[in-house]
């Protein structure tokens, strides 16, 4: 017979959104790397402090290890257009009618000393033939911290999208990427359609809806 989980209510600081713990409250007892390919999987045995003030028992966790990543939404305030890229994604095979996904231009930091901004400027040329102008950070977030250490920085970038679009990518990396321009006025319908269903793109598109007027005022003359 299964037992219901036991919940113990203890007094805590009211309304505080600051965690009471830090890295010093985690003890990694063992770390192994059972898989190393294009990506890496680590297995950690660790224990950490509990809200009751004591230490928990050791637990085993698998961690999908990825380098930092960055993504950008190119925006042309003069034409009122954005640019998205479409490419095959193996992770979408089981979840979508088609595994070809509409996304932001994005990449992982695989060059020593390359900043997130430099990375995304390089990727914009490789994936869409674009030279970006002014960029503004939108957000930095962890897609799934329960299982991966990946952290992704998202930007919006000023771009001249006249004549933009086409087929791009690095063939030696197996890339086959279609860049497409979309009217910024169509963003609400695009979001409602469900065609865009990855976190970075959803964040950036909704951010632009909230900040478009300000960007138009700031970038309209560039």
DSSP-assigned states of every residue in 112-176 = TT--HHHHHHHHHHHHH------EEEEEEE-S-TTTB---EEEEEEE---TT--EEE--GGGT--
- The confidence score (pLDDT) of residue 220 equals 77
Give the bridge partners for 81, in sequence order.
76, 183
Position 112 scores a pLDDT of 78
What SS3 class is residue 210? helix
Cα separations in angstroms, 55 against 25, 93, 98:
9, 41, 46
Provide the whole-model pTM.
0.87
Torsion of CA 162, 165, 126, 107, to 10 degrees: 100
Q: What is the pLDDT of residues 132-182, one digit of tens each?
A: 999 999 999 999 999 999 999 999 999 999 999 999 988 888 889 999 999
Q: What is the CATH number of the domain that holds 174?
A: 3.90.79.10
**What pLDDT score does 139 carry?**
97
Same domain, 56 and 164: no
The answer to whether residue 215 is domain-embedded is yes
Tally of domains in the chain: 2
Regarding whether 109 and 37 lie in a shared domain, the answer is no
What integer pLDDT is reported at residue 75 of this predicted model? 98
Q: Which domain holds residue 97?
A: 69-219
Name residues whose C-beta falls within 8 Å of residue 103's C-beta, 6 or more positions apart in sequence: 71, 84, 85, 86, 87, 89, 196, 198, 200, 201
Residue 187 lies in a domain: yes
Pick from 13, 46, 65: which residue ends a domain? 65
Task: Indicate if 115 and 33 belong to the same structural domain.
Answer: no
Residues 183, 103 share a domain:
yes
Cα gap 135→126, rounded to integer Å: 17
- Pairwise CA distance, residues 145 & 22, whole Å: 15
The reply to whether 189 and 101 lie within a common domain is: yes
pLDDT < 50 regions, the chain = 7, 9
Same domain, 122 and 167: yes
82/61 same-domain check: no
Measured distance CA(201)–CA(203) in Å, rounded: 5
Which of the residues 32, 57, 173, 192 is marked catalytic? Answer: 173
Same domain, yes or no, for 99 and 52?
no
- The verdict on whether 30 is a catalytic residue reads no
Res 9: pLDDT: 47
């Amino acid at each position: 017979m299964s037992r219901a989980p036991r919940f113990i209510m203890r007094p805590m600081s009211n309304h505080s959104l600051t965690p009471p713990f830090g890295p010093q409250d985690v003890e990694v007892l063992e770390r192994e790397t059972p898989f190393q390919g294009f990506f890496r999987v680590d297995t950690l045995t660790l224990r950490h402090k509990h809200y009751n003030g004591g230490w928990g028992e050791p637990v085993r966790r698998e961690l999908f290890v990825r380098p930092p990543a960055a993504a950008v939404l190119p925006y042309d305030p003069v034409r009122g257009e954005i640019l998205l890229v479409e490419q095959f994604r193996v992770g979408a095979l089981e979840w979508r009618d088609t595994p070809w996904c509409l996304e932001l231009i994005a990449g992982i930091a695989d060059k020593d000393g390359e900043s997130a901004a430099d990375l995304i400027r390089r990727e914009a040329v490789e994936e869409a033939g674009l030279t970006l102008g002014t960029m503004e950070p939108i957000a930095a977030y962890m897609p799934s911290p329960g299982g991966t250490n990946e952290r992704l920085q998202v930007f919006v970038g000023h771009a001249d999208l006249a004549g933009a679009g086409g087929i791009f990518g690095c063939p030696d990396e197996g890339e086959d990427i279609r860049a497409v321009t979309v009217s910024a006025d169509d963003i609400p319908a695009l979001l409602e359609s469900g065609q865009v269903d990855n976190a970075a793109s959803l964040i950036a598109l909704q951010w632009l809806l909230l900040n478009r007027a300000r960007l138009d005022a700031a970038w309209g003359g560039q």
